[in-house]
Chains A and B, each alone.
Chain A
């Protein structure tokens, strides 16, 4: 009897030990899960994004757009008002909604969650999403510029030892490092201050940074808000791409075609006259206020100028086509891919050859061939 009791006690102890161990493991795993959830809820409880009500209807194409961003926002605003686009969508049974976001990476998150069907984002987030096989890159939306701004510095080589801010892992970051290299400097020659664009002006005014790189129109508008700032260097080397979620694009090719056509028409419409450009700038400034308190409406002339320059180089309708020059091995985008890999945003094993398959070089060509109307028909 006593032996039996001993055995029972031993079994109970073992059982208790195993249970405690399992509980601990469970807690550990649950903790990890919670941590991940906390990351997710950061976006979902974001003061702006939490108000977005994404549709479950797969005929409603929801597209995320970083805002403010000249001239991407201009093109989108014209597309929203293009009667031809609306009519074509209605005929095909689709609806398109655009959502302003602060960053391309935020849009990628919602794309991965399946909440957005499309995105119009810059090179870096596009490459990241394409590397994860989340998207298919359908067209070049625009080619824009990135600027380096400072107060007391006039030449890139004078950045040595200075504090330079940039959005980490963005095209502005890549541009800065490329620029330093071009001028015979290394990334260790400057003091790095990773920072999002909205914080840069205050950081500059408080003397926390000596220079910053960011996209247009933010850079130009900051130099207008604070006239002691000036652009040291500017490069017309960043791209915006129209991306469609891979699973969605396969099923809804017609909708994608209509979006690309609307994009081409919007550029045509803006390039028709200065008046059109000005209207697009005003719409863009108004839309930007929804997400960022930047008084763009005071800088319509500057916006016009930026957009004029952006679209002037891409006036041919073939500008929407993703050409081999853009995606070729050793080309600009592949170098950006290598940069992201080096910075740990893309797994080391990933090769450009795999990623480039997600760039559709024929979609825009086919759309342009079949396009009937030329310029957007705007309802105001």
Chain B
């Protein structure tokens, strides 16, 4: 019973095509009208009148045809409606899925874009920091490498400010400044740390300095202040 119901639904009733169903209905109606017309003529009606009367008694032929057609194809029509309904549902589902996927993809793309922008900003920030560090390092190195000056005062031929170069020694500086007198008692070398503080680096007695040309000598540093007295 279930199998026959399934067969009827899947096969669309008795397996006839809609065109065949229409043909059968037309032929069935035509037979009925012809038989009725024949009987009416036998009862004495004129051919034209018999035809008109048979059609009148039969009823609304197009409407009756539609009703018969709907009955014969009911399962098929129902199946078509179910199929259309399912197709609509599937289409809506697919469309919805597509919209969701698109939205998710767009959100992921936007997030990736934001992360990329953030990472780009971080990279730029790092590059900038590195550049600044390099600049400051360069400046520090430049400051460190700056030849600077030394200052000489006291009993010397030509006191004043002299350029400092690595390797400059006390005796060389004295030679540059026109030598010193034989009465010097002491030489004091102090160095400023650039922040206002002063450190006495060493002192040398005049006697020791004057002993001999190859006597004690000391290397000077930039910003040394050499006081000869």
Bound together: no
**Residues of A bordering B, CB below 8 Å:** none
